[in-house]
Structure 1
Amino acid sequence: MSEHGKPSMAARGGVLPRLSGSDRIPVGISSCLLGEEVRYNGGHKRHRYVEQVLGRYFDYLPLCPEVAIGLGVPRPPIRLVGDPDAPRAVHVDQPDHEVSQDLSGYGRRQGQRLAGHISGYILKAKSPSCGMERVKVYDRKGMPTGSGRGLFAAELMAAQPVLPVEEEGRLNDPHIRDNFIERVFVYDRWRRMISEGLTNKALVNFHTQHKFLILAHDQAAYRALGRKVALAGQKDVQTLAGEYIETLMKALSRHASRRNHANVLMHMAGFFKKKLDAQDREELHESIHAYRRGDHPLLVPLTLLRHHLHRHPDTYIAEQHYLDPFPRELGSGER
C-alpha cells in the first residue's frame, strides 16, 4: 500500500522495474505475499521466506489482478463457479456480478507484456484469480464440485508455458522449493543469453554448461536436447532455441531421482580417476553409493567433488551448473 492507504502502483500493475546493471532475478509475484494490503478483507498474506530469503536474490514485480481490474480494497470476495475445466469468477454474494473476462484478459495481457522480462512467478495458493491449481469451484447452491485454476494464473501460464511458476504454499516442501529455485536460475540464464543476442555458439555453450543438470532430471530429454544442439548451424537458430527451451524446462520440472543424481556423480568422478590416488577414489565412490542408498544427502558427495575440483582444476567440470545451480544458502541440501 502507498503512504496514503491506496494500493501501490506495483499492486495495480505498474511499469516494469528497471533491471539494467542488476544481477537480481526479476520474478513476478502476487503482491499480498509481500505484505501489501490488497486482499478482499484489506489484509495481506506476507510469506517471510519468499520476502526475506528469496528476496535477497529475486527482484520482485508484485501484481494484484483483482485490484488491477478495478475491484476495491476492501471488496466483496469472489469465487469460481461452473465447469471446473472452464470456471467463471463471480462475487460470492452477487453471483450475477461476473469478473471472468476482466481477470482472464488481464492475465493474458500481463503474460504477453512480461514475456522476456521475468524469470519466474510466485502465485497465491487457492486464490480464484492467482491459484495455480486446486482452487475450489462451486455450483449454484454454493457447494464445491471440483477444483480448477485461478483465471489470472491460467492465462499467465498459457501465455508463458515455459516460465517457472509456483505457489507459495508448495514452497514449504523442500524438494518442490529446490526444484523451483533451480528452474528460475536456469531460465534467468537463458533469458539473459537471449537478451545478449542468440547465436549458435551461445546455444551450444548454454547446453554444455547444463549437461549434467539435465541428465540428473531426465535422461531421455538429455539425449533429445543433445540431438537438437547438434543441429546448430544447420537449422534456423530461433526455431531451434524455441524447441530447446521448451524441452529443457519440461525436463527440469521433473524431480531428479537419487539414481539419476548418483549416475551423474559417478560420471563426474570419472574425470578425476587419473588424478586421485586409490584411497581418494574409494572415498569418493563410497560417498556416492551411500547417497544412492539414502544414507546421507546429496551435499556430501557434492562437497567432496568440489574439494577435488579445487585441488585438480578441470574447466569442463568447473563450468557445470550442476555443482551449484543456485546459491547454496537457498538450498535445503535435499536437491
Structure 2
Amino acid sequence: MGALRKTVTLEVPEAWFMNPEDGDRHRLFYSALLSALAGMRVLIDPVWLPRGAERAARPTASGNLVISFHSYGEAGNILRCKESYVPPFYTMDRMGYSCFSELARFPERFRDQIGAGDDRAAASFVSRLGHELRQGNRSKYPQPPAEARHIAGGYVFVPLQLRNDSVAQGLWLDSRAALKTIVDAASARGLTTVIKRHPRCRSRRIDAVLQELRQRPEVVLSDRSIYDLIPDAELVVGANSGVLFEALLQDRPVISFAASDFGMAVQQVRSHVELAAAIARPDPPSLSWRHKFLFWYLCSYCVRADDSFQIGQRIRSFNPDPKPDGSTVTRVGLRLNWYLLAIMDRIRRRFF
C-alpha cells in the first residue's frame, strides 16, 4: 500500500463479538484482519458498528479505504466483509454479500476464473469438506443431533429462511406462494415435500401457510438436522438460504427462486411456471461445474478467518473504484443514522 502510512477505516462490529453462537468466529476473523493490517504500514481508524446498521449507506467517494462489516451498496473505496455460509470462511466483496455482492450482480466477471479450476482438486475438496460437515453435524446454526432413521420414499427438501432477513430483497417469488407451487409440483412427481422452518422464524404468516400445508399427506414438517434431510433429497429447493449452499456441498441438485452469490451453481427460476417446470424436470449445472464453483468460492473468493496472510493479500489486491456520491454526511451524522437503523432493526425483529 505504498511507503507512506495511509489510514484504513475499520468498522468494528462489537455487538457481533458478544454473540454466544458465533462471536468467537468474528473475533478470530478480526484478530487475523488486525494482524494483516499491522504488516501493511497503515493507521487504523476504528468505527464501532451497532447491530442492524448494515442497511445504512456508506459513502463511496474517494478517501480512506473502508473495511466494512455486513454492509452492502455500490462499489467504491469499500471492502465489505461478512461471514460466509460455512465457518471459518468470510467473504470480502466490493459490493456486499449474497444477492447484493458483485459476484451475484455480475457473475460473468468471474466465470473464466471458476472454469479454470482443476476438476480433480475441486471434487476432492468438496468431498472432503462435505464429509467433515456431515460427520460433525456442523452448520451456521446449531443443529439437533443427527438420527439414523431415514425418511421413506423420495422427497424434495425445502429449507425456509427469515422473512425479515436483508437478503429477502433478492427474492423473485413470494416465499409463501412458492411453497404451494413446490408442493404441487413435487406431488405431481409422486414426491413428498419436507419443509424445515428457520430456527429463528416467528412469523405468523409462515405459521398460517404451514398449518394449511401440513393438512396434506404429502407434506412433512421437520425440525431434524439438515444432515438428516439433505443427503437423501431428490432436490433441495429454496430462495437464497445458506442451507442451499450446504446442500451443494453434499452434491444435491438445487433449485433457487432468488438471487445469490452462488447462483451460478444452482438452477435459478424467476416465475412459478419455471419453478414447477424445474421440479418436474430438473436441469441444474453439471456436478463438475458445481464442484469447480464451490472450490473457487471457498478457496479464492472467500478468505479463512484464521489466515492473516490470505486476508492481507485480499486487501492489497483490492482496487478501489471511488465514485463521487455527493454525500456530505459527517461522521457524527453517519453514526446517528447507524444507531437509528439499529433500533429499527430490533423493533422489526421483535414484532415481525
Please indicate the TM-score interval, normalised by the length of the shorter structure: under 0.3
Structure in which a larger fraction of residues adopt helix: 1
**TM-score after normalising by structure 1:** 0.25
Bigger-Rg structure (1/2):
1
More RCO (CA 8 Å, sep 6+): 2
Structure in which a larger fraction of residues adopt strand: 2
**TM-score after normalising by structure 2:** 0.24
